Every structure is written in structure tokens, then in C-alpha cells.
Chains A and B, each alone.
Chain A
Amino acid sequence: MVRVTGNFQSESPLHPKAFDVLHAAFDSGWADPAKLSQSGAKARQLKNNALESIASALSVGVDSITPVSPTSLGYFLGIQGLFVNTPTLIHGATDRKDVFAIAAETPHHILKSSLDGKLIPANNVAKPSVLALQIANAETGVVQECDAIIASTQSERIFLDATTSGIRVPLPDQFSTALFDSKSWYGPAELGILIIKKTTHWSNPLPHLNAAHPNFDVSLPLLLASAVALENFTTEVQEAGVQARKYNQELRNAFSKVENTDIAGSLESSLAHMLSVSFLNCNGEELLRAIQNDGYSLDSGSACTADDLQPSHVLAAMGVLTHGNIRITIHPGTTQEEIDGLIKSVVSNVNRSRA
């Protein structure tokens, strides 16, 4: 069996401090925070502390925070909750499938992508409209020029998908709802943080008996672990970004020297820790397995690695090569040795695959 020494997949282990908290939280945070018992009061206190900590790190009011699980539920709540009188949903061609699924049920307008992954602003979209805008792409890391797109669509109701960007990119001033993913700060998976900034724009789209702020009762230990992960990542994010940018540049420089290579988006306009690159005439699945055999785990957007055999809709929308694709995520613990080894593995396996 090959020992995996380098993890370049989008998934990663919990932040070590969140892992410690998770154990303690299952011990002390098991009670229902809504109950009046002593253990319930303790759980309520822990929950409030976690929400205040998350609100502070995200620079939003604690009353605007709604934890949701799974994270994908946050797309429905955040977007559908803004609908009044069947609006036109404006969204990007490179959005997550969750957004496409909501758009399929309502009039919609898709913003096309240019080759660099930036969405092309659109005017004259039928009103009223709701804009669903992804701040950074989950496959390529390309960061959108949010203010320009918001200005062009003139939508009053705006949902921001911050699930990939997390705290790496500040939210634009103008929005109604926003969704974060706890994974983006190395917290537990399947825990989303929905921000409802403008309560006058939002109504609960799920069946409910009163109009009070929704409470979806997520796991308290996971919420506590997420809060601790976020608190710690807030102090690490800047340094991690500088290191990731250096490594990302090294990867791009090395891969650019390989003939017929298609890199999605520039480093200047992308998250520093993400890279998507395609190699002409290479089989993505075979490439992934060969690199895995060298000890490096990564992701791919190629059709041959997808369950439905469909190519990445993100790469297709950009006009970037969809086959022979690998996606690399640089984590805070990634070392120079791992980057050097990954470059060597990718280049040699691409050459072997083409031979």
C-alpha cells in the first residue's frame, strides 16, 4: 500500500484545536440548549458563546447568524428565502449545482464566464430579480469582481456564496443573505453558517408556525468545534495565504513549462491556495491514480472521474480543457518538500501518460 504523504484534496482533517474541543464538547454540550435544566443552561451558554465568536470573526451581528446542516440546505434557505412574486434568479455559469437546482424551478438568467473565470456582467435582466453570486469558485478558486456584478444587475436582493472563499475574501457591503461553509476554516464538514443580514428581504421558505428567527438545531459539539476552528484560523489565514501563494506560483511555473497545459484562471485573481490545471491528451482518472501511487492525493474535474461521466460544468463554462484535469488545494501544513514532490510526480506522470 502506498503511504499518502501529501494531501492536496479540498477536504482536510479538522483544525487540531477544533479536534480537541470536539471531544470535550461531546462531554459537556450534549443537552438541549432550549431546556431549563442545569445541563440545558450550560449547553445554551456554550451555544451563545460559539455564535458570538463566529459572529465576531465574520464581522456580522450575532442575531444575523443561523447555523444550518447540511451546508447545501443553506443554498435553499439563503436564495429561496429572498423570493417574492416569482423573481428572475440571476446566477453564474460557474456556480455550484445547488444553485442550478434552485434556478431550474424559477425564471432565471445565467451570467456567462470568460476564459479567466470572471463572470460577464449583464444588464437589462427582467425585474424583480434575485442575484446569487459566488465569491470564489470551488473548483478553480477564481474570485469574482462582486461589486461590478452587483452594480450591473441592480438586484435589490442578493445572496452571496462564501462557502469556498470563507474569511479569505471580505464580503461586499451590499447583500441580503450569505452562506459560509465551516470546512473553509478547517471546521467540521456539513455545517453551514447562513447570514441573514436584511431580515426585511428574507422569509423562511420552509413550513413554519411562527415568523421568529429560524433555529435548525445543528449539533452543538460541531458548532463549538467550528467556532474554535474559525477563531484559530482567523489568526493563521494571512500567513497561510502568503505561503500558499508562493507554493501556487511554483506549481504554476512548473506546469506552464509542460507543453499543452491549460491553467484555469490567473493567480492574481484566484484564491492563493487553489489551482486547477488540465493537460491535453491525458486521462484524468489515470493521472489521478498515478499521482496517488506516488503518495499525493488530489481532486479532478474530468468527466472520467465523475460518477455521471459529465465534464466539469465550471471548466466547460470557462472554455478550459475538461479532460486531464487535476485540482490542487494547498493547506496551511503543506511543506516545500510536498510541493517539490508533487511537481515531480505530476510532470513525470503527464509525460508518461502522453508517451
Chain B
Amino acid sequence: MKEIDARGLRCPQPIIELGKEVSFMHAGDQVMLHSDDPATEPDLVAWSRMTGNVFEKKSKDSFVITKLSER
């Protein structure tokens, strides 16, 4: 699984980096996002709803994102 290390980056950069990576992925592909920005988790909730993808929190600052749609 590909990993994005966005630790130390502040919002909205982690979500922008994630969006770039996801645009190259296919439905079913996964990516691990590492981010210690306090806005990342709430923004992943909104981002998932807006883009039709899902995420799972793995640790305090790690999230696995699964691409569900081809958007």
C-alpha cells in the first residue's frame, strides 16, 4: 500500500496531497495517510462524503483510505 507522509503539514495540505494521490488510483485501491494536523480527521469525514470514498483510522495520526468511486 502506498503511503503519504503529511506529518508536519498543516491544513489543507494533507487533504490536497491525498486528493492528488487518489486521482491516480482505481476503485478498490488503498493508500495510507500519516498526518498530525488536528483538522485532518474531521476533514477526512467531509472529504469521504464529498468524494464517495471511505477511510479508517488506524492510529492517532494514521488513516487508511479506500477509493470506492472513480471521481
Q: List A residues at the B interface (Cβ < 8 Å).
A: 115, 260, 262, 278, 280-284, 302-304, 309-311, 315-316, 319-324
B46 near A303: Cβ-Cβ < 8 Å: no
With A319-B46, A321-B47: A283-B38 Cβ-Cβ less than 8 Å: no
Q: Report yes or no: B47 in contact with A280, Cβ–Cβ below 8 A.
A: yes
Q: Could you tell me the dominant secondary structure of chain B's interface residues?
A: helix
Given A281-B16, A324-B12, CB of A303 within 8 Å of CB of B50: no
Closest CB of chain A to B46's CB: distance in Å?
4
Answer whether A319 and B11 are a contact pair too, CB < 8 Å, given A303-B37, A310-B38.
no
Chain A at the B interface: mostly helix, strand, loop or mixed?
Answer: loop
Partner of A323, one of B12, B45, B50: B12
Q: Which residues of B contact A311 (CB under 8 A)?
A: 11, 38-39, 42-43
What is B's interface to A at a CB cutoff of 8 Å? 10-12, 15-16, 19, 37-39, 42-43, 45-47, 49-51
10 examples of A-B residue contacts, CB within 8 angstroms: A260-B50, A278-B46, A280-B50, A302-B12, A303-B39, A304-B10, A309-B10, A310-B39, A311-B38, A321-B47
Q: Is the CB of B49 within 8 A of A303?
A: no
Given the known inter-chain contacts A303-B11, A304-B11, please indicate yes or no for A320 contacting B46, CB distance below 8 A.
Answer: yes
Docked CA distance A278–B11 (Å)? 13
Interface centre among B19, B38, B46 (most CB of A within 10 A): B46
Contact residues in B for A321 (Cβ distance below 8 Å): 43, 46-47, 50
